[in-house]
Amino acid sequence: MATTVLVSVLLGRYLDSLLDTTPWLLLLFSILGIGAAIRVLFNMPKYKK
């Protein structure tokens, strides 16, 4: 889960520097990464069955 958030933050920072849109893509990808981690966290009990 931490990897998902880290990769999304790094991707957002890279795209921000490439497209000069600071901080919008960083914020967008951070929110998406955190959302994906929360979704995995809530679906985890289903995998243990």
Please say whether the beta carbons of 36 and 8 come within 8 A: yes
Which pTM does this prediction carry?
Answer: 0.80
Tokens of 18: 């490439």
Instruction: Output the tens digit of pLDDT for each of the chain's 49 residues.
Output: 799 999 999 999 999 999 999 899 999 999 999 999 999 888 877 766 5
Determine if the peptide bond prior to 23 is cis (ω within 30°).
Answer: yes
